[in-house]
A = this chain, B = another copy of it.
Amino acid sequence: MSLTEKPEETPERQEFYARIDKHAMTPLWTVLSNIITPEPKSACQPHLWKYDAAKAFLLESGSLITAKEAERRVLILENPGMRGSSRITTSLYAGLQLVMPGEVAPAHRHSQSALRFVLDGAGAHTAVNGERTNMQFGDFVITPPGAWHDHGNTTDQPMIWLDGLDIPIVGFFDASFAEGYSDDEQLVSRKTGDSFARYGANMLPVDHQQDRLASPIFNYPYARSREALEVMKAQDEWDPCHGLKMRYVNPVDGGWAMPTISPFLQLLPKGFKTASYRSTDATVYVPTEGHGRSTIDGKVFAWGPKDIFVVPSWKWVSHEVDDEAVLFSYSDRVAQQKLGLFRDDRGNS
């Protein structure tokens, strides 16, 4: 016998299973090999969504329902291996959100952590804790758990971003709380840029006490992150698996910017081909610049800017780029590290 084989099913045993079943009991040995597996083995599949096609659907939805009626006008990117579960990986959610000119996505708050990664439009705003930030392409925006947040678009063009949330995690732990705000939009009480100045300039208020796990910075501007990559790349130090890969941090403790989701930004130089890598944190990728191909579990996915693709847990992945590429990505690594579950493998690199 072993962890991987099942004992024989005899009539005597089956009769016993039927009897204990009435008492909310069931034999471990009939399911052991399914629930404690030798390797990660979920239904999560590698997949790529072309941005142009997705955007067309999203814009079409703009005429089908208003942001207000929908509460959030979002098309969920649902993993083909887990349809009907509103998940892109076993633990994470992804969706594309559209806010049309003049629209408001009403204020609410919930236990779920959310990231917004801006793909189209310029200048629509997200409000958190009484401050508004104007979102530009590539900005990484956080709406922390429990924080009132609303979105508005006072520009003349549609605004589209990728939403990344931990909805499955909060649901799994049965810890979801949510409520709507009294008005569509929260009161603006702080000047735009205040939180970034207060927490993002490598200084902190001398008596600052952090009251939540998420970063107090709620917009990490692409212009700044991209410029940092530009300076660093001069050093010509490339990780074989990752090129030049950074993680967004919470300035209060240097940890991850979010309590359950790990956001990354990485640069791959022109013509770079990475070594194979696998890890237990299934990851969602969104290139902001460049074109390339990623080989995931043996399948090749060609991508360009704004396409979205997902790499399941423990599947080998490698990237090959034509021109210089920059990729944003997110996973549940922070959660797995806190729980002692994260593992990775750099293959032959």
Contact = CB atoms under 8 A, between A and B. Distances in A.
A288 interface: no
Contacts of A72: 28-29, 32
A252 B77 CA distance: 34
Contact of A64 (B13, B40, B340): B13
Contacts of A41: 174, 176
A290 to B, nearest CB: 19
A198 interface: yes
Interface string A10-49: 0011001001100111111101100111111110100101
B225 A203 contact: yes
Nearest to A79: B24
A90 interface: yes
Copies in the complex: 4
Given A72-B32, A264-B206, A335-B339, A78 B24 contact: yes
Nearest to A48: B24
A203 B69 CA distance: 37
Contacts of A168: 172
Given A145-B340, A234-B194, A254-B253, A174 B313 contact: yes
A341 interface: yes
A77 B23 CA distance: 9
Given A27-B74, A191-B235, A204-B249, 17 more contacts: A3-B108, A3-B178, A16-B60, A23-B57, A24-B77, A26-B76, A28-B75, A39-B176, A41-B176, A44-B174, A145-B341, A174-B314, A194-B231, A201-B225, A206-B247, A213-B340, A260-B339
